[in-house]
Amino acid sequence: MKRVALLGGSFDPIHNGHMQMANTAIELLRVDEVWFIPTFATPLKERALTSKEHRKAMISLAIEGKPKFRLEPIEIERAEKSYTIDTLKELKHRYPDHEFVYLIGSDQVEQFDQWKDHDALLKLAEFVGIERDHTFGSNPCDLPCIHMKDVPVSSSLVRNGMRLDYVDAKVLQYIYTNRLYIKDFIKCRVHEHRYLHSCSVADLCEAFAVCNGYDGNKAYLIGLFHDVCKELDHKQMRAWIKKIAPQYLDAHPAIWHGFVGGQVVKSVFRMKDWQIGNAIHWHVLGQSKDPYAMIVYCADKLDPLRGYDSYELIEQCKKDIYKGFVAVKDQNDKYLKEKEKK
């Protein structure tokens, strides 16, 4: 006979707050295992959930190597709205010897009397509330509650590219590899026109990389994130520049966002690949001959959304990024000289 805690949620994506709940159940509720039950859909929320394959894959990565944790896809595979009563009945049927403890958040403790068949539910499993902070609400069904150390993260914060240090490194890598949420990381940090420019540069970077035999996804990420710090205010940027590139403190602030962005993708967005940081660092000045740095420099200058005819140079970059880079740099130098003269 096993005592199993059930943890339901959309897990879009799974983060350390969920893991902390599972660990707390192991520590305080004497359970042998915790099963993660991703929901198929949450009809009350307007946002469409990320696909079930991605959500399941991210849970599997987060619990990899943790034998007490298990992914239970019973609801997600049913492919329709599930009520907890149906899930518990099915689990009881499949595992008649198991004893189930169903974990719910303190907000659900307050409205448990409104859950479908809540009396029947209490006969099928022990329901335990998890309190994250010390605000006590009502508890109409007198459910037992345990306290969990607060983890300041939520899936919606992660979907906006915040608190990424509370996401398992393998899950985060999966997010980048499969391009989940990442356009929103940019969208919530810059204005619409710059967001569209970033998406356009990302597509162009990917095309240049693939045509030249480089990693298309890595180039796409560089393009998407290259201007992520462009709208930081100068005061904030100056503080970063003091630390990472003090030799440019007296330069025009317009060039700072490359240096800051190169650092921020490492420290905030936790991208470990040095070529990503390096390419973003040099995307304004174009002083690195690393292929990814050349790719983003060219894609940034040749973005079709800039409104001039860049077709020929784009084709040249697709054929040979090195030659294309030399041509784009040459054109840009001429443009800057003209601008200076004026």
Provide the binding-site residues for Fe ion, judged by CB under 5 A: 227, 300
For the stretch 79-88, what's the b/e string if a residue is b when 16 or more beta carbons lie within 10 angstroms of its beta carbon?
eeebebebbb
Residue among 120 and 255 whose Cβ is closer to Fe ion: 255
Residue 197: CB minimum distance to Fe ion, A: 6
CA 63 to chain centre: 17
- In 10 A of CB 37, how many CB atoms? 22
Q: How far is the CB of 283 from Fe ion (least distance, A)?
A: 6
Smallest distance from the beta carbon of 31 to Fe ion, in angstroms? Answer: 51
Q: What is the distance between the alpha carbons of residues 30 and 20, in angstroms, rounded to a whole number? A: 15
Sheet with 145-147, edge to edge strand ranges = 69-71, 33-38, 3-9, 99-105, 126-131, 145-147
User: CB-wise, 168 or 300, nearer to Fe ion?
Assistant: 300
Beta carbon of residue 301, minimum distance to Fe ion (angstroms, whole number): 9
The length of the chain in residues reads: 342
Output 30 or 191, the one with its CB closest to Fe ion.
Answer: 191
> What distance in Å separates the CA atoms of residue 271 and residue 228, rounded to the nearest whole number?
14
Q: Which CB sits closer to Fe ion, 14 or 229?
A: 229
In this complex, which beta carbon is closest to Fe ion, that of residue 146 or of residue 196? 196
Closest CB to Fe ion among residues 102, 225: 225
Q: How far is the CB of 257 from Fe ion (least distance, A)?
A: 6
Judge whether 194 and 227 are in contact, CB under 8 Å.
Answer: yes
Which is nearest to 144 in space by CA: 123, 125, 124, 130? 130
Looking at residue 158, the DSSP 8-state letter turns out to be H
Min dist CB 237 to Fe ion, Å, is 12
Q: Give every CB contact of residue 303 below 8 A, 6+ residues apart in sequence.
A: 197, 200, 201, 204, 310
Strands 145-147 and 126-131: parallel
Nearer to Fe ion, 16 or 200 (CB): 200
